[in-house]
Amino acid sequence: MRQALLGVSGVVHADVSYSKKRANVQYELGVVEPASLIAAIDGAGFAASLMEDCDTGC
């Protein structure tokens, strides 16, 4: 899944935790839309949805 995210133009960093079922993705605003990230994850055979932004260890 990490490689699928990094393959999206505009993604700067992707950290994936399979045990927590979460991915933290840093991307360039205006270059990539969240829907593109979800499509990349879906294309890699995983399910994805957006979480609320969280600064306190979600």
Report, as an integer, the average pLDDT of 9-26: 95
Give the span between the Cα atoms of 1 and 41, in whole angstroms.
6
| The model scores a pTM over 0.85 | no
What pLDDT is recorded for position 31? 95
The domain total for the chain is 1
The pLDDT confidence band at residue 8, using thresholds 50, 70 and 90, is very high
How does pLDDT run across 28-47, given as a tens digit for each residue? Answer: 999 999 999 999 999 999 99
Is 53 inside a domain boundary?
no
- Residue 54 in this model has a pLDDT that exceeds 60: no
Q: Is residue 32 part of a domain?
A: yes
**33 C-beta neighbours (distance < 10 Å), count:** 13
**The pLDDT of residue 51 is above 70:** yes
Domain membership of residue 28 as a residue range: 2-43
Both tokens assigned to 3:
């490689």
